[in-house]
Amino acid sequence: MSDCTIPEHNRYSRDDEWVRESEGGLYAVGITDYAQQRLGDVVFVELPEPGTKFDAGQAFGVIESVKAVSDLCIPIGGEVIEINPSLEDTPETINEDCYEAGWLVTLRPNHPAELETLMDAAAYASHIADRSD
Amino acid sequence: MSAIQRTPLYARHVELGARMVDFAGFSMPVQYTSIKAEHAAVRETAGLFDVSHMGQIHLSGPDAVQTVERLLTCSVATLPEGRVRYGLLCNHDGGCVDDVTLYREGPQQFMLCVNASNIDKDLDWIQAHRLPDTAVQDRSAETGLLALQGPRSPELMDALCKDASGATPSSLGRFGFSEFDGPAGSCRISRTGYTGAEGFEIYLPAQNCRALFDALLETGVAADLKPVGLGARDTLRLEAALPLYGHELDDTTSPLEAGLERFVKRKSGGFIGHEAMEEAERLGRSRQLVGFELEERGIARAEYPIRVEGREVGRVSSGAPSPSLGKSVGLGYVPPEYASPGTALEIVIRERPIRARVVKTPFVQKV
């Protein structure tokens, strides 16, 4: 996949989600540029109720593009605090700006140290390069 | 057939940055930019599709009329030269082998335009059921097919193509076709399409496809013409409630169940599958295709169960958010008692019943 943006300041999961510390001890989660390019036009996003708790790797929502339905897996365990309210009406925000306006949820992590188990930008770049043809 | 095939425009799609997917054995563009934008182009200005994956089967000879009459549900003898008719190839049980468009080229000459996924199946079926004096020729590989669709398509088509007498393609009536000269030499243009919009389909030798594709894109710049992929093709045909083989139609579905009665010569008969189809009607139709709108958020995808009052009564055949309506719509099969507009349905999406309502189709009226 050509021309994937991978910002340095995020951590990345093997399932193509990014995590970044936002404010007040919360962490924002979204999908990567590679993931949104693979999905194509996002037409629907289903997110959990705030207050729901997940362990790392658990499915916390669903993202649908025209041709596929995919689970969203939480990169680090924690409690969902906010969901991105704009995605209900404009799920295409994920295609347009997956790292900023297209964030999915914010979390209060159970163990912020779990972040260290995720990849940095360089490791994620080689992770996706290994999967491309 | 294991290797993925390419249309003559494969390299051009890649150059244009299209996302390519495998569809019916072909590597095809699903989208160049965004499905929403490409869908809007066809509804508001114009869109250009490469549909060269589709098949073209030619039938000719003294028995050709009778052969086609026997193979297709639509009436053939009454089809004038230079006209196109939609019809179905049915099996002996009244199920659909394929849905096709039939072009009458001459007194004894026909062209069938068939679904890419069914070319081999159709050829086998036609060969096995033709009358002796009918020549059958598959010209799918050497024939390219473009579709120019949308309200501004007549002016674009006219800017590039003329026939020997100086007439332009917009002089064609709906479902008419004729030969024209254009920037890629001679081509056959029909006033047909699969989008529910005004438009044309253009058949030409595969090697000339690129010249016409590029000429149209260039002429179309001022009219906001966009290349359009299969993603928007699917949402456009769904809004128009046009069936897609493999979804609304298959070998076990009768055209009557699919709501295609007007393309079936039920009275005169004489085609394969007629008796079985009528027998099934006498016994009472068990299911019927309906359109529905979701009343809650979600996307009704193919194969999702349809329930009425908690009981499963059918399955979704196609569904997507309709870009033109801003609603999530779908097609599916239900027993006739639940087919009237207004009937409350539930679509089971990831084990959760979502409220839906039967509505009239097409979802989007032709303008």
CB contacts, 8 Å: B30 with chain A: 40, 66-67
Q: Which residue has the higher pLDDT, B168 or A2?
A: B168
Which of B31, B234, B235 is facing A40, going by the closest CB pair? B31
Helix residue spans in chain B (DSSP H): 10-15, 35-44, 64-71, 119-129, 153-160, 209-220, 230-239, 274-283
Q: Which of B322, B328, B349 is best to mutate for the A interface (most A CBs within 10 A)?
A: B349
List per-block mean pLDDT (blocks of 10 residues) for chain B, which spans 367 residues.
87 96 95 94 98 98 98 97 98 98 98 98 98 98 98 98 96 97 97 97 98 98 96 97 98 98 97 97 97 96 97 98 95 98 97 97 85
Per-residue model confidence (pLDDT) at position A61: 96
Q: What is the pTM of this model?
A: 0.92
Q: Cβ contact (<8 Å) for B299 and A43? A: yes
Q: Cβ contact (<8 Å) for A92 and B297? A: no
- Dist CA B322 CA B49 (whole Å): 19
- Domain assignment of residue A31, yes or no: yes
B79 secondary structure, DSSP code: P
| Residues spanned by the domain of A105 | 11-131
Q: What one-letter code names the amino acid at A7?
A: P
Topology of domain B55-137, per CATH?
Alpha-Beta Plaits (3.30.70)
- Domain assignment of residue A3, yes or no: no
Query: In chain B, which residue's Cα lies nearest the Cα of A46?
Result: B298
Per-residue model confidence (pLDDT) at position A3: 80
Per-residue model confidence (pLDDT) at position B298: 93
Q: Judge whether A43 is closer than 8 Å to chain B, CB to CB.
A: yes
Which of B21, B231, B298 is facing A41, going by the closest CB pair? B231
- Domain assignment of residue A61, yes or no: yes
CB-CB neighbours of A92 under 10 Å: 18
Domain count, chain A: 1
Q: Cβ contact (<8 Å) for A44 and B299? A: yes
Q: Is B348 helix (H, G, I), strand (E, B) or coil?
A: strand
Which of B21, B34, B297 is facing A41, going by the closest CB pair? B34
Per-residue model confidence (pLDDT) at position A133: 47
For the stretch A93-127, pLDDT in tens is 999 999 999 999 999 999 999 999 999 999 999 99
- Is-same-fold flag (B5-52+142-239; B286-359)? no
- What CATH number does the domain containing A60 carry? 2.40.50.100
CB contacts, 8 Å: B34 with chain A: 41, 92, 95
Residue A67 in this model has a pLDDT that exceeds 80 = no
- Domain assignment of residue A6, yes or no: no
Please give the full DSSP string across chain A, using - where no structure is assigned.
Answer: --S----TT-EE-TTSEEEEE-STT-EEEEE-HHHHHHH-SEEEEE-PPTT-EE-TT-EEEEEEESS-EEEEE-SS-EEEEEE-GGGTT-TTHHHH-TTTTT--EEEEES-GGGGGGSB-HHHHHHHHHHH--
* CA quadruple B178, B181, B182, B185: dihedral sign: positive
Q: Judge whether A52 is closer than 8 Å to chain B, CB to CB.
A: no
- Domain assignment of residue A1, yes or no: no
User: Rounded to the nearest 5 degrees, what angle is found at the Cα of B279, between the Cα atoms of B278 and B280?
Assistant: 90
Judge contact between B161 and B128, C-beta under 8 A. Answer: no
Give ipTM to 2 decimals.
Answer: 0.78
Chain centroid, CA A47 distance in Å: 12
Q: What one-letter code names the amino acid at B107?
A: P
Judge contact between B270 and B282, C-beta under 8 A. Answer: no
At the top level of CATH, the class of B5-52+142-239 is alpha beta
Q: Judge whether A66 is closer than 8 Å to chain B, CB to CB.
A: yes
Max Cα–Cα distance, chain B, nearest Å: 64
Q: Is B165 helix (H, G, I), strand (E, B) or coil?
A: coil
Per-residue model confidence (pLDDT) at position B336: 97
Q: Judge whether A3 is closer than 8 Å to chain B, CB to CB.
A: no
Report which of B121, B140, B178 is spatially closest to residue B56, judged by C-alpha positions. B140
CB-CB neighbours of B355 under 10 Å: 13
Average pLDDT over residues A59-75: 92
Residue A132 in this model has a pLDDT that exceeds 70 = no
Q: Where are the domains of chain B?
A: 5-52+142-239, 55-137, 286-359
At the top level of CATH, the class of B286-359 is mainly beta
Q: Cβ contact (<8 Å) for B321 and A44? A: yes
**Assigned token pair, B60:** 């000719």
Q: Cβ contact (<8 Å) for A67 and B320? A: no
